[in-house]
Structure 1
Amino acid sequence: MLFNLLPYLALAGIAADTVTASPHPAHGHGIARRHHARQHARHVTPNIARRGAEFGYKNGQKCRVRPAGQGNAAPAPAAEEQQPPAADNQQQQEQQQQPPAADQQQQPPAGDNQQQQQPPLENNQHNVDSPDTPDTPDTPDTPDTPDQPGNNETPAETPETPETPETPETPNPPTSPNTPTGGNSGKRGMIWPNGDWAKDIRKYIGQGGISWYWAWEHAPSKWAAEAGLEFVPQFWGPQKYDKWYEQKANNWNGQKVSHVMFFNEPDLQNTYVASGVSPQDAVSHWHQEMAPLRAQGIRIGSAAPAGANKNWIVEFEQACGGACNADFITIHVYVSDVEIFKKTVTDAYNQNGNRPIWVTEWACHDFGGGGGNCADPAGFVTQATQWMDSQPWVERYSLFGSISELHGVDTKCGLMNTWDPYDPTSLWWNYIHA
């Protein structure tokens, strides 16, 4: 505001100078000058006062300017605020220092812009301090982002991955009926009717090579089951129904049975080692015992003739009207010549509808005397075994002789030492490793 009053103050000063007494009062023209100055002030001063009183702000507020006072007061410096002379009255001083209350309370129109609502303190944009901008609320700190390694920074050490423990070696599964441990393809088996030495079967199967066994009319051995051998029961004959029923009632000691064989040597009349049943009489036993097992999904093997009547199986199936056909053919072969052995097995296959053959008893011995004594049991066993392994239609076989009583078979063909039934003979080792 002081800056805007300077032009008027300057005019007031000029007017004052005109009425100021000459520094040389004794001069001859001093009276004339004073008279002229008074006349000039009489016309100039009212105009200054009028114009100064009408001065106002752009926003409509009035700024009252004290008219030039009486006396010879000099104007204040431009850099300082004009002070009223001492001769002015108290009312003029209050008017100089404070504008009327009505002017202070006057508010600009609502339609004016923000610049009109807030007038500058001194009506000079160059000297007016802008009102303080209210502080912007502090933005909450952003959570620290995990440091990312820069291009030239070495990333933090990656924690060491714990070493993967070595996978323990999987133990070999126990021998299953279809997984032989010897040189055969699951065909090789054994006969083990030794109830008194049942646990000693472990000595015979510990070296592998055996996948299944049978025991005529006897129950299975739990030690053989622990070794993974498949047990194949046999309905030996009418004379031993009691043992057969006992095995069925006990569910063969809890062992899963998938194959069952019919009568043992029905073509012989020696009831000590053979069942001695005619083909016609055997039909009813088949219907009573074998047919229900087949209905359960068990494969049924034929009766095993000893060879006296090679046509026993054919006659039996004819007597049954074709309703008693076996799933596989079981035979016993006792000869001392390998070639005769091969021919006998082949004939059984051809005569019985090319069904799979099981040679459940065989040895290098000829009961008929045609082949003579066995000169080389080990050679015979090796050749016969290898040949049967090579014939796809020979499904299984089991060498006779793992008993202490051989029933007339040459002792050289025995698989168990007679003086120590716990120990196998060398022929046994030859058999399982052939």
Structure 2
Amino acid sequence: MKAGISWPVQEETSDPLTAFFQPGSKLSWHYNWNKRWDGQLLPHTSPTLQLDAEFVPMIFAPQYLDNGIQVQGDWQLMLGYNEPDHANPAVAVQTSPAECAAAWSELCKLRTSGKRLASPAVAVDRNWLKEFFSYLPPDTQPDLLAVHIYTTTFDSLRTQLEEYHRMFGLPIILTEFAMTSFDPNVPPPQSMQQVHDFMGQATEWLDKTPWIERYAWFGAVRNSYNLHGVHEFNRLMDGEGNVTPLGYQYINGGHD
């Protein structure tokens, strides 16, 4: 199963994640933009919490590699830096391709015994990513390409993913996507039904496309601030921690 959940550490607990991984759920993994899903980062998480899902840690930015917090568990896949081309400090640490590439060799030392690394995921700048790759020796190339796409049509989502795959030739993990617009000239979704339909088209294509390895819809939050401008129609959970109808669609396969 390819589908997973992104859950921000800013929620301070991982307990609500249990709603997404009940028996019968078609979701198989989760991440939270950081190294752990409990302890220092999410201090209000129940000490007895059990999640029937793989946790995929992230090194949010180069300086997070040695920040005193240990990576959780026997991980098999780790995500690289989050949107280093982005100037918004609420979601990223803006860092040049050269700086990120220089620190990448240290991150690669964690890649042992079959463990894999996903590339940094840029917000929008593919040239940033091309420059980053140009600095890497062959033995430090990422195993997967991490990608973020926010758009209002399925055709745009597919076209952008195909272009990423053509440019970099790696299997893709789509760690953020939703039906929304950050362009003032492009209208946001006009109804919930549009978002349900977009999710259905997108997940059906993602599931059958062999070079898409995993994906995670952006919208599993309680606090609206943690949507960072993504349209509220994309919510998988409401402010009280209840799964939304869109959330149930996602849990049940997205396109069933």
TM-score tier, shorter chain, comes to 0.7 to 0.9
Correspondence for 1:191: 6
Please point out which of 52, 70, 79 is paired with 1:247: 70
Deviations 1:261-314 (A, max 9, x none): 1100011111220121111111221112x211123431010000011x112222
Matches within 5 A, 1:285-434: 285-288=103-106, 290-307=107-124, 309-353=125-169, 355-369=170-184, 371-375=186-190, 376-403=194-221, 404=223, 405-418=226-239, 420=240, 422-433=241-252, 434=254
Higher relative contact order (CA 8 A, sep 6+): 2
Query: Which is greater in Rg?
Result: 1
The 1:205–1:295 alpha-carbon spacing in structure 2 relative to 1, beyond 3 Å, is closer
Matches within 5 A, 1:35-434: 186-194=1-9, 195-206=11-22, 207-217=24-34, 219-221=36-38, 226-238=50-62, 240-241=64-65, 245-248=68-71, 252=72, 255-288=73-106, 290-307=107-124, 309-353=125-169, 355-369=170-184, 371-375=186-190, 376-403=194-221, 404=223, 405-418=226-239, 420=240, 422-433=241-252, 434=254
Q: Displacement, 1:188?
A: 0.5
User: Which residue identity does 2:122 align to in structure 1?
Assistant: P
Contact 2:62-2:100 within 8 A present in 1 as well: no
Q: Find the aligned partners of 2:233 and 2:66 in 1 and give their Cα distance.
A: 34
Query: Identity of paired residues, percent?
Result: 29
Q: Find the aligned partners of 2:129 and 2:17 in 1 and give their Cα distance.
A: 32
Contact 1:217-1:236 within 8 A present in 2 as well: yes
TM-score (normalizing by structure 2): 0.86
Q: Find the aligned partners of 2:210 and 2:141 in 1 and give their Cα distance.
A: 21
Q: Find the aligned partners of 2:174 and 2:28 in 1 and give their Cα distance.
A: 15
How well do the aligned residues superpose, as a CA RMSD in angstroms?
Answer: 2.1
Q: Find the aligned partners of 1:431 and 1:228 in 2 and give their Cα distance.
A: 17
The 1:402–1:369 alpha-carbon spacing in structure 2 relative to 1, beyond 3 Å, is same
Q: Displacement, 1:323?
A: 4.3
Q: Displacement, 1:377?
A: 0.9
Q: Secondary structure, in 3 states, of the residue corresponding to 1:351?
A: helix
Q: Find the aligned partners of 2:76 and 2:137 in 1 and give their Cα distance.
A: 25
Q: Find the aligned partners of 1:242 and 1:352 in 2 and give their Cα distance.
A: 29
The 1:218–1:424 alpha-carbon spacing in structure 2 relative to 1, beyond 3 Å, is farther
Greater share of residues in strand: 2
Q: Displacement, 1:426?
A: 1.0
Q: Find the aligned partners of 1:259 and 1:218 in 2 and give their Cα distance.
A: 12
Q: Secondary structure, in 3 states, of the residue corresponding to 2:150?
A: strand
The 1:314–1:381 alpha-carbon spacing in structure 2 relative to 1, beyond 3 Å, is same
Task: Provide structure 1 residue ranges, at least 5 long, that are not aligned to the other structure.
Answer: 1-185
> Which region of structure 1 is more displaced relative to structure 2, 213-222 or 295-304?
213-222
Contact 1:187-1:395 within 8 A present in 2 as well: yes
The 1:359–1:225 alpha-carbon spacing in structure 2 relative to 1, beyond 3 Å, is farther
The 1:225–1:258 alpha-carbon spacing in structure 2 relative to 1, beyond 3 Å, is farther
Task: Provide structure 2 residue ranges, at least 5 long, that are not aligned to the other structure.
Answer: 39-44
User: Which residue identity does 2:32 align to in structure 1?
Assistant: A
Q: Secondary structure, in 3 states, of the residue corresponding to 1:344?
A: helix
Q: Displacement, 1:225?
A: 7.4
Q: Find the aligned partners of 1:431 and 1:391 in 2 and give their Cα distance.
A: 18
Q: Displacement, 1:232?
A: 0.5
Contact 1:317-1:324 within 8 A present in 2 as well: no
User: Which residue identity does 1:258 align to in structure 2?
Assistant: Q
Q: Displacement, 1:201?
A: 1.2
- Residue-pair matches, total: 238
